[in-house]
């Protein structure tokens, strides 16, 4: 039976009548499904920084909608206070290009005229709604294009979470899986656990099970042996930023899978919306890699996994060079090497 896309969970919901933004708090998964309402810039900023809402497309959308939700609850929002909020949210996380991209669009609304008060808020709400709708449409387009790459009974290995919980729609890397299954093809997914924050085992496995997609969790170090044993047909991952030459930044550990896929002659696909392409970055070395707190590696909850004072290397992302990428799937179609993205 074809998969129903109605079963795919949504990372965030927007209620335009009340200008209310609600998110699934992804820090609580898979133990509990908890929704939070974000009403202030402090709450939006904290949700993005602490990964309550995460994924390059989702944080861009959440920042735009959260900006509106916060301004709507202020007694007297001013152009200056909204501009300051835009600048703050744009700095919440440095690697994903969608965040400053979305905030630049909101700033353009302010710079385009001299409206203030309710009229300015209406204009910002309209632009945020467009960003939301565009992301949903981009996910559907990625799904349509990418589904053509997945044969019946394909086994897809993925890393981190680039599914519905990383976007406003049905995802980026998981969108082709959902689209292929909606067309009646059988697809299964191997989700790498994705240390240190376990977004694969905690979030991707939860999302896929909830949607009705067969999923198996493996540790990150098991992926290469699964490829060797013929258990994997392709690797399909997302991207937080794509340089103009096709180098891609994604969750730490992605590069290792790309190297292993090349060694085992497997396709390595990257799926991302066109808004994740940073034509101003000539190559991956120009992408700023976020460094996160050492305790994400030292601890899981209250349990110590390493000595308290041991030095820790904890980049959130790594860069996969373009020569290891078989194809990049965007809402505009499938691009193959040589890559050259322009503004």
**Which tokens hold the place of 176?**
């082709």
Give catalytic status of residue 240 as yes or no: yes
CB 336 within 8 A of CB 269: no
What does the alpha-carbon distance between residue 129 and residue 127 come to, in Å, rounded to a whole number? 5
What does the alpha-carbon distance between residue 192 and residue 227 come to, in Å, rounded to a whole number? 13
Give residues with Cβ within 8 angstroms of 13, minimum separation 6: 21, 22
What does the alpha-carbon distance between residue 73 and residue 76 come to, in Å, rounded to a whole number? 9
> Number of C-alpha atoms within 13 angstroms, CB side, residue 210?
18
User: Which residue in the list 45, 220, 240, 331 is annotated as catalytic?
Assistant: 240
Residue with tokens 């008060």: 117
Give residues with Cβ within 8 angstroms of 328, minimum separation 6: 239, 242, 246, 248, 269, 270, 271, 272, 334, 335, 339
* 40 burial via Cβ count (<10 Å: 0-12, 13-18, 19+): middle
What does the alpha-carbon distance between residue 310 and residue 210 come to, in Å, rounded to a whole number? 38
Helix H or strand E segment including 1:
none
Q: What is the dihedral of CA 122, 123, 129, 130, to 10 degrees?
A: 160
The residues assigned a catalytic role are 240
């Amino acid at each position: 039976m074809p998969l129903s896309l109605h079963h795919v969970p949504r990372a965030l919901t927007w209620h335009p009548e009340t200008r209310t933004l609600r998110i699934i708090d992804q820090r609580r998964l898979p133990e509990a499904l908890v929704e939070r309402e974000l009403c202030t810039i402090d709450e939006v900023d904290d949700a993005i920084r602490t990964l309550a809402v995460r994924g390059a497309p989702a944080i861009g959308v959440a920042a735009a909608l959260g900006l509106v939700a916060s301004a709507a609850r202020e007694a007297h929002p001013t152009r200056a206070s909204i501009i300051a909020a835009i600048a703050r949210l744009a700095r919440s996380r440095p690697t994903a290009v969608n965040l400053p991209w979305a905030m630049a669009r909101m700033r353009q609304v302010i710079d385009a005229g001299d409206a203030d008060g309710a009229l300015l808020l209406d204009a910002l709400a309209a632009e945020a709604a467009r960003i939301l709708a565009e992301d949903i449409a981009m996910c559907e387009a990625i799904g349509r294009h990418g589904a053509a790459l997945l044969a019946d009974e394909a086994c897809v290995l993925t890393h981190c979470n680039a599914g519905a919980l990383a976007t406003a729609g049905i995802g980026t890397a998981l969108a082709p899986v959902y689209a292929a299954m909606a067309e009646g093809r059988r697809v299964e997914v191997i989700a790498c656990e994705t240390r240190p924050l376990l977004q694969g085992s905690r979030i991707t496995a939860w999302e896929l099970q909830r949607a009705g997609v067969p999923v198996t969790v493996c540790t990150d170090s098991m992926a290469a042996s699964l490829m060797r044993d013929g258990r994997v047909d392709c690797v399909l991952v997302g991207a937080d930023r794509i340089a103009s030459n096709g180098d891609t930044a994604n969750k730490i550990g992605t590069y290792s899978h790309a190297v292993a896929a090349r060694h085992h002659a497997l396709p390595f696909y990257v799926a991302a919306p066109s808004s994740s392409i940073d034509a101003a970055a000539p190559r991956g070395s120009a992408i700023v890699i976020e460094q996160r707190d050492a305790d994400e590696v030292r601890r899981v909850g209250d349990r110590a996994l390493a000595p308290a004072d041991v030095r820790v290397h904890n980049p959130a992302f790594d860069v996969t060079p373009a020569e290891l990428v078989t194809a990049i799937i965007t809402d505009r179609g499938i691009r193959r090497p040589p890559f050259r993205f322009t503004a």
